[in-house]
Amino acid sequence: MPLSAYLIVSAILFTVGVVGVLIRRNPLIIFMSIELMLNAVNLSFVAISSKLDSADG
């Protein structure tokens, strides 16, 4: 799969996390949305690392 496909999924997940932080009032669910954003960024790191064939990402 091309790199941009993974980056698009990562961007969508990040946006879902941002919207979750904005629309929910329960602090616990806001934390879960933050975890979602962190994991979206992790996915883009791993995809870029795999693309560049370097462990530095």
* Distance separating alpha carbons of residues 16 and 56, to the nearest angstrom: 27
Binding mask 1-40 for another protein (x = CB under 8 A): x-xxxxxxx-xxxxxxxxxx-xxxxxxxx-xxx-xx--x-
* Distance separating alpha carbons of residues 42 and 52, to the nearest angstrom: 15
Asked if 41 is part of the footprint of another protein (rule: CB under 8 A), the reply reads no
List Cβ neighbours of 5 (8 Å cut-off, separation of 6 or more).
Answer: none
Asked if 43 is part of the footprint of another protein (rule: CB under 8 A), the reply reads yes
User: Which residues make up the interface to another protein (CB under 8 A)?
Assistant: 1, 3-9, 11-20, 22-29, 31-33, 35-36, 39, 42-43, 46-56
